[in-house]
Amino acid sequence: MKIGVAHKLFLVILTAAGLAVVSSALIMQWSLSRGFLKFINAMEKTGISRLAAELEKSYSTEQSWEFLNRDPAQWRQLVAASLPEAPPPPPGERPPAGQPTERFSGGKPGPLPQHLARQFDQRLFLLDADRKSLVDHGKVPVDSAVTPILSQGKVVGYLGLLPRTKILDTPQQRFLHEQKLAFSLVAGVVVLLSAILSLLLARRLVRPLDELARATHQLAAGSFTVRVPVTSQDELGQLASDFNSLALSLEKSELTRRQWVADISHELRTPLAILRGEIEALQDGIRQPNHETINSLHDEVQRLGRLVDDLYQLSLSDVGALTYRKTELDLAEVLAEIVALYRIEFFSKNILLEVSIPGKGIDTVFGDKERLHQLFSNLLDNALKYTDAGGKLQIGMQTSDGVVSIDFKDSAPGVSTSELERLFERLYRVESSRNRSTGGAGLGLAICRNIVEAHGGSILAKTSPLGGLWIRIELPGVTP
């Protein structure tokens, strides 16, 4: 049989409450019995004081303890005259058998019953000045409490009473039994209330877990729109809030994945459709396999190959499979090398290239030279493709507070402010400035972002003061 969390929690709370109540009831019953016995022994000590006073008078008259040997009945008379008073019975309680009713009138104390008087007498002992036994009914413990008996300022004997070790009186036993029964009833009521409260509390605490469990099953089944209500500010409320955040992230990831698959299909469909159309035209004899046709097919194959290569590079960077062999590099030198390779292409397109790079050895970073080459190559390719002829590209580098900043500012065409944040999304195109004839697939900046983040830096896009796009890269420098 499967036991749920609510039942387990209920049993734990009920067990803890039950143990606490039962322990308290047992301790209270033990304390009551012990305290009541101490109370009875303390009452009996009043009889010891009266008996000691009577013995002092008798000893003063006889000047010895011989009268106890001559007349043993005199000891019983002294004891009877000094018996402690019995406590008044509880309201409505009948007096013990053999005791006159008037002795208990008004709820006042009365003499002890005969059986209690005999018990009292049997526990009395009398010692002489040398602590030799004169009257006893058994062995007297050495450490027993005694009351000295004085005559003319001298100790002539010791009187003691062995304390009770248990309660034998029926009314007293009945009183203790009723009190223990009352404690048991109270404990039972408290345990019952604890059970009810434990059940309610367990259900209240487990209800959010049940909602989370149902929502988790829906989430595992692919329903990413499921949410759970946040009804508290405790750990359960935080768990519900985290679940909602997780569901939202999965929902966004699923939408991104679907968009990603759709975009890839769209990007692959175009060159494949062109290739198929060209080949079918050759098959039907509409076009001849001349140099122009072969070049057209080759261009589409190259465009398809670049797209596949970009997708492969992006997938490697996403899973962290790109190898990074980082060393301390002079970033100015790395940038100067890659810019030198593109100068002729910018000159051919009539784009002015202005470079402001500090001297070597100033901007040192810890990075992978090959990946940084790929980063700068992608940015230069974008500037070359999407900057109008007769435009300008400014490249600058500076260091501030241990951070190396690289800026790429080009001229028109520009990008609207609303689209700047989406430039680093995969397969995203700004239609006003990009088209498939230039060969771009919208993956270059996404790859750039992954490379920069792998170097512990950041990349962002802004509007260029030249009218185009401003890409800023910030990489942590190496402290000398």
Which domains are seen in the chain, by residue range? 5-172 (no CATH), 235-317 (1.10.287.130), 323-476 (3.30.565.10)
Mean pLDDT of 125-131: 78
Q: With bands split at pLDDT 50, 70 and 90, how would you rate the model's confidence at 317?
A: low
Q: With bands split at pLDDT 50, 70 and 90, how would you rate the model's confidence at 243?
A: confident
Q: With bands split at pLDDT 50, 70 and 90, how would you rate the model's confidence at 409?
A: very high
User: Which tokens is 321 given?
Assistant: 């499979």
Residue 112 pLDDT > 60, yes or no?
A: no
Mean pLDDT of 87-105: 47
Instruction: Please tell me the predicted confidence (pLDDT) of residue 394.
Output: 92
CA distance linking residue 299 with residue 304, whole number of Å: 9
Q: Which of 450, 453, 445 shows the shortest CA–CA distance to 426?
A: 445
More confident residue, 360 or 24: 24
Question: What percent of the chain lies above the pLDDT cut of 70?
Answer: 75
Instruction: Please tell me the predicted confidence (pLDDT) of residue 136.
Output: 66
Instruction: Please tell me the predicted confidence (pLDDT) of residue 406.
Output: 92
Q: With bands split at pLDDT 50, 70 and 90, how would you rate the model's confidence at 434?
A: very low
Instruction: Please tell me the predicted confidence (pLDDT) of residue 2.
Output: 62
Provide φ and ψ at 71, rounded to 5°. -135, 85
CA distance linking residue 405 with residue 400, whole number of Å: 8
More confident residue, 395 or 224: 395
pTM: 0.45
Do 202 and 184 touch, CB atoms closer than 8 A? no
Mean pLDDT of 403-416: 88
More confident residue, 214 or 79: 214
Instruction: Please tell me the predicted confidence (pLDDT) of residue 319.
Output: 56
Instruction: Please tell me the predicted confidence (pLDDT) of residue 442.
Output: 61
Instruction: Please tell me the predicted confidence (pLDDT) of residue 116.
Output: 55
Of 30-44, 304-318, 349-363, 424-438, the one with minimum mean pLDDT is 424-438
Mean pLDDT of 102-116: 46
Q: With bands split at pLDDT 50, 70 and 90, how would you rate the model's confidence at 101?
A: very low
Sheet containing 467-476, strands listed edge to edge, beginning at the edge strand earlier in sequence: 352-356, 392-400, 403-411, 467-476, 458-463
Of 119-133, 321-335, 345-359, the one with minimum mean pLDDT is 119-133
Give burial (CB, 10 Å; 0-12/13-18/19+) of 185.
exposed
CA distance linking residue 389 with residue 392, whole number of Å: 9
* CA 125 and chain centroid, separation: 68
Across 101-115, 280-294, 337-351, the highest mean pLDDT is recorded for: 337-351
Q: With bands split at pLDDT 50, 70 and 90, how would you rate the model's confidence at 323?
A: low
Tens digits of per-residue pLDDT, 80-92? 776 665 555 554 4
Of how many residues is the chain composed? 480
The set of residues, in sequence order, having a beta carbon less than 8 Å from that of 71 and lying 6+ positions away, is none
Tens digits of per-residue pLDDT, 179-230? 778 878 888 888 888 888 888 877 777 788 888 888 888 888 888 888 888 8
Residue 106 pLDDT > 50, yes or no?
A: no
